[in-house]
Amino acid sequence: MSRSMNVAMIGYGFMGAAHSQGWRVAPKFFDLAATPNMDVLVGRNAEAVASAAERWGWAETATDWHDVINRDDIDIIDIVTPGDSHAHIAIAALDAGKHVLCEKPLANTVAEAEAMAAAAERAAARGVFAMLGHTYRRVPAITLARDLVAQGAVGEIQQVRATYLQDWLADPQSPLVWRLQKHLAGSGALGDIGAHIVDATQFITGMTLESVSGTIETITKRRPVLETSVGLGGTAGVEYGDVTVDDVALFTGRFDSGVLGSFEATRFATGRKNAMRIEVSGTRGALAFDLEDLNALEYYDSSGPATTRGFTKILVTEPEHPYISAWWPAGHILGYEHAFSHQAKDFIDAIAAGEQPAPSFADGLQLQRVLAAVERSASDHSRWTSTKGQ
């Protein structure tokens, strides 16, 4: 590691913890092209951000991101805030000459995503790069699936199926958190988890969604707000607010190759905690992945004898598999947090090499157009809605 790069992270919630784990651990296990230093953690609540910084290992804190992006000693801005602030922070950081890592989805609207992609293109001309944080690409089994498809293991792709099932909102008394408010989150299950299966299928197959037909639904339309009010009798009462995003999104898509895909994203799949499943079927075989068994990849080889033909479960823990050689002996599993170390590694190495890391903000814009097309299709009750020219 010939040099260091100073990181400032803006935001400190769930994704803040995950990204902190990635920055902290990556240089301990991988021979990175540069050492990431966890310099500044930024949040509006001084006391809360100080507590998070101490817990996760950040050197100092700040409450104003504007001041931080203009500091000469900061090289990278990592954005883990709700989607409504992504565009403002990312564009300002890129214009200030900082490399940017931004959590998905890229923005809350196509217009914001277009502005972010344009800012990233301007910055790249000066050797300053931006990357979108679709971390599931860095799960070794998903990367292996991409490699096997590229090698022709499934032959010509004929169909794609993808679901992302969670149940954390199945209880109608779950509170009205920011993810359920459109002005903060942009969309609900569609943008939160549907974005993952769109990106993962495009990443694995190398194909791009060109048109979609979908429907979305808000199942629980009002939820209790986090704060309680006190009634006239002195007893605590519960206030309810409107849920302004979708709870479930169902859509079909046609890729640029002509192949059809089916997609489901829901936070009402009772009993399913984080079940992202992707299946790719082709003329020579098939691949299947489930995030709830994230160290495994299922592979079906159509050329085998009919008497023994079936899905083979590949335990993706061998040193020959993507990323694995830096970790533990074969058979020793990895977890959710390891993908964030892989993300930090790929981002740092690309920047040090002067190369565009992937996925780019342009990739994020394309995905944002897919999400917007699903929403338009659902609103218009139209059969197919183009993802281009919005």
Tally the domains of the chain. Answer: 2
Write the CB contacts of 51 (distance below 8 Å, at least 6 apart in sequence).
Answer: none
Do 183 and 271 belong to one domain? yes
* Residue 333: per-residue pLDDT: 94
Confidence band, pLDDT 50/70/90 cuts, at residue 387: confident
Range with lowest mean pLDDT among 182-186, 205-209, 259-263 = 182-186
Radius of gyration of the chain, Cα coordinates, nearest whole angstrom? 21
Q: Is the pLDDT of residue 287 over 70?
A: yes
Mark whether 169 and 285 lie in a shared domain: yes
What pLDDT sits at residue 232?
A: 41
Assess whether 190 and 310 both reside in one domain. yes
Which pLDDT score, from 0 to 100, does residue 235 have? Answer: 43
The mean per-residue pLDDT over the stretch 219-243 comes to 73
CA distance 116 to 218: 29
Tell me what percent of the chain is helix, strand and coil, each rounded to the nearest 5. Answer: 35, 25, 35
Q: Which of residues 82 and 2 earns the better pLDDT score? A: 82
Q: Do 163 and 312 share a domain, yes or no?
A: yes
What is the pTM (predicted TM-score) of this model?
Answer: 0.93
**Continuous segment of H or E residues that includes residue 29:** helix 14-29
Query: Which structural domain range is residue 119 located in?
Result: 4-136
**104-116: pLDDT as tens digits:** 999 999 999 999 9
121/144 same-domain check: no
Identify whether residues 120 and 159 lie together within a single domain.
no
Sheet order of strands, 76-79 included: 60-62, 35-42, 4-10, 76-79, 99-103, 130-133
Q: Is 154 inside any structural domain?
A: yes
Per-residue confidence (pLDDT) for residue 233, from 0 to 100? 43
pLDDT digits (tens, 9 = 90+) for 21-43: 999 999 999 999 999 999 999 99
Give me the amino acid identity at 24: R
* CA–CA distances in Å: residue 161 to residues 186, 261, 302: 25, 5, 18
State the maximum Cα–Cα separation within the chain, in Å, rounded to a whole number. 76
121 and 207 fall within a common domain: no
Provide the percentage of residues in the chain whose pLDDT is more than 90.
92
What are the backbone angles phi and psi of residue 44, rounded to the nearest 5°?
Answer: -75, -30
Q: Are residues 126 and 147 in the same domain?
A: no
Span 83-126, pLDDT tens digits: 999 999 999 999 999 999 999 999 999 999 999 999 999 999 99
Computed over every residue of the chain, the mean pLDDT equals 94
Distance (Å, whole) CA 142 – CA 162: 13
Map tokens 């000459």 to a residue. Answer: 97
Where a domain ends, among 136, 170, 197?
Answer: 136
The answer to whether the beta carbons of residues 191 and 83 sit under 8 Å apart is yes
115 and 147 both lie in a single domain: no
What confidence tens digit (pLDDT) does each residue in 307-355 have? 999 999 999 999 999 999 999 999 999 999 999 999 999 999 999 999 9
Last residue of some domain: 102, 136, 170? 136
116, 165: one domain: no
Give the residue from 136, 169, 191 where a domain finishes.
136
The answer to whether residue 163 sits within a structural domain is: yes
Residue 197 sits in the same domain as residue 315: yes
Q: Is residue 236 part of a domain?
A: yes
**pLDDT over 60 at 56, yes or no:** yes
Q: Provide the CATH number for the domain around residue 34.
A: 3.40.50.720
